[in-house]
Structure 1
């Protein structure tokens, strides 16, 4: 009796997934940098020449600062772009996924700036994206004033908590869906069914929008899939739902990079492969039935069940 009760309690315990938010943000910013700028910095976006690919610089530029953070992981990007007037522009993007306020955050942002500037003497535009729903009161500027020596360094901070969910849903900007998913990460932490409904609705709306390129859709799906993890039963249910959506668009399915697709897309591809093979076996069985071969032989050749063959026979 006691063993049964313990087993029941273990089964009811929610599954805890470890989400690599830093890695996901790094990847999606790299994959969708143009969309990232369009959402968070539209004025700068208008001056960038995207006919020339952005250059993501080596992360070693952050190593000295990273060591001071005592092993804490960061999601940072330094991106070199060309402007429409031919000038070169460096863009520093820092993603902060921690929930607590940090007194030294503004000082760290200044250190990033001056170390990059001191080494490379490049103009730098700096962004900090706060992904937590914690009401972060972090300052968006660094001030130093000591016996007449003063310094003021300001940068742009965007806080996910400040964006309205309804406006994000209505927005046609692709990166609004990334921000929306980041908001729902915390809101649906202990509500698997609610998270499933949200993922299903969001994925369907994205894939049905003809304005989004297929490679961009794949990048968003990858972020959403790994950020908003689901229990296995709901993952399978979501994959079946997306198969029914994507199955109507065979050309769309073929455009996805199967080797780098999100888990939901991988499952949909597997479902498509299985269904395709099954359809081929049905065609073979029909031909064999027309030639009046024994049902047992047809079962052996096609690996279809007796019920499936009888259905075809009828």
Structure 2
């Protein structure tokens, strides 16, 4: 449970800092439609499932509007760190509770961040042989199905952080870390955002000693100025970790 809570906190912090970048990167159709200049993060809502005795907390809930339209819309982003059989049903329940409370349109988005590759549903249906009662759809992002190589030229900070959750082989771990550092160098972010991205990445892709040695060797092959900046980033993060410890 502690590990799950930590993951939810990291994901929430990443998206609250870079929400526009996240939507632009993975859901361009939403990015084009909603007003990202005026967004408000709402307090996480807790829904109680009396029949099962469970409590569920919505991960990310954003209040905004559609461009050129009055009235609010909500964007609900749910992070799923482990496979769950009835997840699509839960997305519908969240949607219905949100609609009941706010009486507005809701954009539901599910982000699957666990390492196993599955074919996750993007809808929840209820029907009889003689009629369809419900066909609820939601947007999905299965990170492990995305190739990390497709994102290394991006200047989007969310792409850099989420390299650590994309599909890569064990033998590619060093290269993924190297490209992550190169992305940070190109972005030239302020120290606070740099620390956030590094902390997220390092939580999910931790190199062993042998891999760290290989990383140092690979850094020696890149441009000297770039390599120096990469070393500064890793050293700064390690020093923050020691202070925190």
TM-score class normalised by the smaller sequence: 0.7 to 0.9
Q: 2:77 aligns with which of 74, 81, 93?
A: 93
Is the CA contact 2:160–2:184 (under 8 Å) kept in the aligned structure 1?
no
- Deviation, structure 1 residue 131: 1.5
Q: 2:112 aligns with which of 119, 130, 138?
A: 130
Change (3 A) 1:233 1:117: same
State how far apart, in whole Å, the 2-side matches of 1:36 and 1:196 are: 25
Q: Flag the 1:108–1:101 CA change in 2: closer, same or farther, 3 A.
A: closer
1:24 and 2:7 matched: no
With structure 2 as the length reference, what TM-score do the two structures score? 0.74
Q: What's 1:48 paired with?
A: 34
Q: 1:223 aligns with which of 176, 200, 207?
A: 200
Cα distance 1:118–1:130, how it changes in 2: closer, same or farther (>3 A)? same
1:114 aligns with 2:87: no
Cα gap change, 1:62/1:74 in structure 2, threshold over 3 Å: closer, same or farther? closer
Q: Is the CA contact (8 Å cut-off) linking 2:161 and 2:198 kept in structure 1?
A: no
Cα drift, residue 222 of structure 1: 2.3
TM-score by length of 1: 0.60
> Which segments of 5 or more consecutive residues in structure 2 lack a partner in the other structure?
220-225
Task: Tell me what 1:296 maps to.
Answer: none
The structure carrying a bigger strand percent of its residues is 2
Contact conserved, 1:101 with 1:136, CA < 8 A, in 2?
no
Assess if the C-alpha contact under 8 Å between 1:47 and 1:83 holds in 2. Answer: yes
Instruction: State the match for 2:222 in structure 1.
Output: none
Partner of 2:236: 265
CA distance in 2 between partners of 1:270 and 1:183 (Å): 24
* CA positional deviation for 1:36: 0.7
Q: 1:156 aligns with which of 105, 119, 139?
A: 139
- For structure 1, list consecutive stretches of 5 or more residues without a partner in the other structure: 1-17, 254-262, 272-314
Q: How many residues are paired up?
A: 228
Cross-structure match for 2:67:
84
The alignment partner of 2:186 has SS state of coil
Find the aligned partners of 2:57 and 2:80 in 1 and give their Cα distance.
7
Is the CA contact 2:152–2:183 (under 8 Å) kept in the aligned structure 1?
A: no
Larger radius of gyration: 1
